[in-house]
Amino acid sequence: MLRIGAKRLLGLAQRPAIPPPAVVVRSYHERVVDHYDNPRNVGSFDKNDPTVGTGLVGAPACGDVMKLQIKVDDETGKIVDACFKTFGCGSAIASSSVATEWVKGKQMEEVVTIKNTEIAKHLSLPPVKLHCSMLAEDAIKAAVKDYEVKKAKKAGNGEESAKSAGKGANA
C-alpha cells in the first residue's frame, strides 16, 4: 500500500488511458497545395510598358492583396504572358497562380469571361475561401481594363500627333 501511494505521489503510477480529444483536421485540396508549393508565373512586368495591363485588388476583410499582370500582343490582342504577386493565404496564392495559367495564350475577350466559380471549383475551395477566387477574377478584369486604358491613351496620342503634324504642314 505504501509503495502504491509513493508511486502516485511521484507520478509513476499507471493511470487509465485517456483518449486524446477529437480533432477536426482540415486540409487543402492537392491542387491548392501544388500551386502554393510550386506557384507558376510569379514576378512582375514593367507597369509603364504599354503592352502590359496591371490589376491590383485586395480584400480588406482578410488582408489578401493580389497583383496580376498581363502582357498583350498589340496586333493579335492575345495575352502572350502573365505573372502575379500575392500577399495572402495559400488559397489566394493558388488562385493567382491558376489565373495566370488560364489567361496565357487567350484573347482578351475570352479571359474576361473567366468566373471565380470556375477557379474555386478547379481548386476545390471551401466556401470560406471563395473570396480568394473572387480576387483572382477581379484582378484579371482589372488588368484587362488597365491595358485597354493604356491602348486608348496611346491611340489618342497618336491621333493628336497626326493632327498637330497636319496643322504644321498646312501653316
Cell of 113: 469571361
Model confidence at 171, pLDDT cuts 50, 70, 90, reads very low
**Region for residue 127 given its phi and psi (left: phi exceeds 0; alpha: psi -120 to 50; beta: otherwise):** alpha
Model confidence at 54, pLDDT cuts 50, 70, 90, reads very high
Task: Say what the pLDDT of residue 169 is.
Answer: 46
> Is 169 contained in some domain?
no
The pTM of the full predicted model, rounded to 2 decimals, is 0.77
> Is 159 contained in some domain?
no
CA distances from 36 to 46, 89, 155 (A): 24, 9, 39
Q: Is the pLDDT of residue 162 over 60?
A: no
> Is 157 contained in some domain?
no
Domain of 104, CATH number, reads 3.90.1010.10
Between CA 66 and CA 132 the distance in angstroms is: 9
Q: Is 32 helix (H, G, I), strand (E, B) or coil?
A: helix
> Is 41 within 8 Å of 83 (Cβ atoms)?
yes
> Is 71 within 8 Å of 45 (Cβ atoms)?
yes
Number of H-type helices and E-type strands within the chain: 6, 3
> Is 98 contained in some domain?
yes
> Is 114 contained in some domain?
yes
Q: Could you say which of 33, 56, 62, 65 is catalytic? A: 62
Residue 132 is among the residues annotated as catalytic for this protein: yes
The total of structural domains in the chain comes to: 1
Q: Which residue has the higher pLDDT, 88 or 25?
A: 88
> Is 21 contained in some domain?
no
Q: Could you say which of 66, 132, 135, 136 is catalytic? A: 132
Q: Is the pLDDT of residue 154 over 70?
A: yes
Between CA 138 and CA 27 the distance in angstroms is: 26
Between CA 142 and CA 130 the distance in angstroms is: 18
**Domain limits for position 34:** 30-148
> Is 22 contained in some domain?
no
Q: Is the pLDDT of residue 36 over 70?
A: yes
Render pLDDT for 100-152 as a digit per residue (tens, 0 to 9).
999 999 999 999 999 999 999 999 999 989 999 999 999 999 999 999 999 99
Cell of 143: 488588368
Average pLDDT, the chain: 85
Residue 83 is among the residues annotated as catalytic for this protein: no
Strand partners, 109: none
> Is 91 contained in some domain?
yes
Q: Is 95 helix (H, G, I), strand (E, B) or coil?
A: helix
Between CA 43 and CA 45 the distance in angstroms is: 7
**CA 57, chain centre distance (Å):** 9
